[in-house]
């Protein structure tokens, strides 16, 4: 794609918007930007863009744009996006733009409902251990476009890819991709679970015989994927007839034992899945297995994902603020020993909470509920015998109540099964406040 002198509107001035403006300005496009916030509220953003040419506007209907780049989180039915779609102006996210602008760059795309960040981070660590030039970017909190612009064709771009980013793709084609799992999430954004699935599948839509798609075939939806135009590597926690599998606490490649779960620093069976996917991706790239195993054994996990915070009076506190959907919280509960005091609640994404309570198996002894979904969780949980839930209004109350109600040997787990946007800017902000309050006890 040629962007020289093209008139472009960037909608949304978060990490991806800032990264996009820097890149398009450097490529000498005529860059305009829009955000719901007023100019005075964006002072820090504009300071970070000092030296780059762009114009902040509110009257976007007064211009004829060649294309629009939207922040991935902006919904498809946002009135601004609908306006440009109705007027046949192409709308991209940074993912599609990254591919079309830098099609010769090497891209590994990692997606799935849960486990993306851990998998992306571990793949990055393996590449680093192997001394291969690489960058970890994307939905993991790093604006991809500017990073890819500043890399060369030898650098491998390891991208955590969200369904939001995939929604607006048409040409995007990674040379290695993975899908770890698909469970209901972001229904409010996509409009239906089927739409969500179809957007996830766009990660391999354009792949060819030179590519490789890593699939977790334990997932009911992924087990039915029939892909003719690319190579498939299958992983499983249950089946031995796959390329990479997990059995009796050990990792295997086509029957050969690689290492044990007890060799790792990360918890939970769900992380065994993330490790299998990471190993498969790196093996398919050509990294030798000894290097892969060494990196896996030394990987310490990611912040906000079943992150041990502190032990006080025999009570252990865990921060799983990245547990923003039901399936993620199910995995977090499964990873810890009982008894658990579980903190739930946040922004309502319109999903079914029943599977969460059906999975507890007697491990959860108390619920602390907070955020927009607290009353929905309260109502749903009572069908499963949780009659004495504690409903609070702030995270200060959350931590105080947990400490008051917990006994020595209990695990206090923040894994909200909800997004953070009702009370926080991000799950990171939520997790950091939780850790701060716990450490102040």
What secondary structure does DSSP assign to 345-390, as a single string? --B------HHHHHT-TT-EEEEEE-STTHHHHHHHHGGGT--S-E
- Other residues' Cβ atoms within 10 Å of the Cβ of residue 409: 11
Q: What whole-number distance in Å separates Cα of residue 164 and Cα of residue 76? A: 9
Q: What pLDDT was estimated at residue 400?
A: 97
What is the mean pLDDT, run by run of 10 residues, along the chain of 441 residues? 95 95 97 95 94 96 97 93 96 95 94 93 97 91 90 95 95 96 92 96 95 96 90 95 96 96 88 96 98 95 88 96 93 92 95 94 96 97 94 97 96 96 94 98 95
pLDDT of residue 140: 73
Question: Residue 144 and residue 92: Cα distance in Å, rounded?
Answer: 14
- Note the pLDDT of residue 96: 96
- The response to whether 119 counts as a known ligand-binding position is no
Specify the pLDDT at position 143: 85
Answer yes or no: are the C-beta atoms of 95 and 32 closer than 8 Å: no
Distances 404 to 122, 127, 415, 440 between C-alpha atoms, Å: 37, 45, 19, 14
The two beta strands, 7-11 and 30-34, are parallel
Is 118 annotated as belonging to a binding site? yes
Cβ neighbours around 267 below 10 Å, total: 17
Strand arrangement, sheet containing 390-391: 307-312, 315-319, 411-414, 340-344, 364-369, 390-391
pLDDT of residue 292: 98
Identify the pLDDT of residue 169. Answer: 95
Query: CA 424 from chain center: how many Å?
Result: 17
119 close to 158: Cβ distance less than 8 angstroms: no
Q: What is the pLDDT of residue 314?
A: 96
Output b/e per residue, 244-253; b: 16+ Cβ within 10 A.
bbbeeeebbb
Per-residue confidence (pLDDT) for residue 1, from 0 to 100: 84
- Determine if residue 242 is labeled as part of a ligand binding site: no
Residues in Cβ contact with 319 at an 8 Å cutoff, skipping those fewer than 6 apart:
303, 304, 306, 307, 309, 414, 431, 434, 435, 438
Residue 116 labeled ligand binder:
yes
Q: Point out which residues pair with 107 in neighbouring strands.
A: 157
Chain segment 89-146, per-residue pLDDT in tens: 999 999 999 999 998 899 999 999 988 999 999 999 999 999 999 999 987 777 899 9
Residue % of the chain over a pLDDT of 70:
100
* pLDDT tens by residue, 254-275: 999 999 999 998 888 889 999 9
Round to whole Å and give the CA distance between 352 and 350.
7
Q: Which of 313, 335, 307, 268 minimizes the C-alpha distance to 409?
A: 313
Looking at residue 112, its pLDDT comes to 95
Q: Is 157 helix (H, G, I), strand (E, B) or coil?
A: strand
Pair of tokens at residue 191: 């409009």
pLDDT of 301 reads 83
For residue 113, say whether it is annotated as part of any ligand binding site. Answer: yes
Per-residue pLDDT tens over the stretch 229-245: 899 999 999 999 999 99
Q: Which residues contact 88 (CB under 8 A, 6 or more apart)?
A: none
DSSP conformational letter for 223: G
pLDDT (0 to 100) of residue 440 = 97
Residue 305: predicted pLDDT = 87
CB atoms within 10 A of CB 64: 7
pLDDT at position 268, please? 82
The secondary element (H helix, E strand) that includes residue 265 is: none
Q: Which two tokens stand for residue 415?
A: 């894994």
């Amino acid at each position: 794609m040629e962007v020289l002198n093209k008139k472009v509107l960037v909608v949304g001035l978060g990490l991806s918007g800032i990264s996009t403006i820097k890149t398009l300005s450097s490529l000498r496009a005529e860059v305009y930007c829009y955000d719901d916030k007023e100019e005075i509220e964006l002072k820090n953003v504009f300071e970070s863009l000092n030296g780059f040419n762009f114009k902040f506007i509110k009257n976007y209907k007064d211009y004829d744009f060649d294309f629009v780049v939207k922040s991935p989180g902006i919904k498809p039915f946002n009135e601004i996006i609908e306006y440009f779609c109705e007027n046949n102006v192409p709308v991209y996210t940074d993912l599609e733009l990254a591919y079309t602008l830098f099609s010769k760059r090497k891209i590994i795309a990692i997606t799935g409902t849960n486990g993306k960040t851990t998998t992306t981070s571990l793949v990055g660590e393996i590449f680093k251990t192997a001394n291969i030039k690489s960058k970890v970017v994307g939905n993991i909190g790093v604006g991809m476009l500017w990073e890819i612009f500043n890399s060369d064709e030898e650098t491998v771009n390891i991208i955590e890819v969200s369904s939001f980013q995939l929604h607006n793709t048409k040409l995007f084609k990674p040379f290695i991709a993975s899908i770890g799992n698909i469970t209901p999430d972001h229904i409010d954004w996509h409009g239906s679970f089927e739409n969500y699935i179809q957007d996830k599948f766009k990660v391999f839509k354009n792949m060819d015989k030179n590519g490789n798609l890593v699939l977790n075939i334990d997932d009911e939806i992924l087990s039915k994927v029939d892909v003719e135009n690319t190579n498939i590597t299958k992983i499983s926690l249950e089946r031995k007839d796959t390329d990479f599998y997990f059995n009796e606490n050990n990792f295997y490649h086509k029957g050969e034992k690689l290492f044990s779960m007890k060799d790792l620093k990360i918890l939970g069976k769900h992380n065994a899945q993330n490790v299998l996917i990471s190993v498969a991706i790196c093996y398919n790239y050509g990294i030798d297995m000894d290097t892969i195993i060494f990196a896996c054994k030394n990987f310490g996990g990611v912040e906000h994902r079943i992150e041990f915070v502190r032990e006080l009076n025999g009570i252990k506190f865990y921060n799983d603020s990245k547990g923003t959907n039901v399936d993620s919280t199910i995995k977090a509960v499964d990873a810890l020993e009982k008894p658990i005091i579980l903190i739930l609640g946040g922004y309502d994404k319109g999903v079914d909470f029943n599977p969460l309570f059906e999975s507890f198996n007697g491990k959860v002894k108390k619920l602390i509920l907070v955020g927009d979904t607290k009353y929905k969780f309260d109502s749903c949980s009572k069908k499963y015998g949780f009659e004495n839930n504690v409903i609070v209004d702030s995270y200060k109350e959350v931590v105080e109540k947990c400490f008051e109600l917990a006994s020595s040997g209990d695990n206090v787990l923040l894994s909200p099964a909800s997004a953070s946007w009702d009370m926080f800017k991000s799950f990171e902000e939520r997790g950091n406040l939780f850790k701060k309050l716990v450490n102040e006890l």
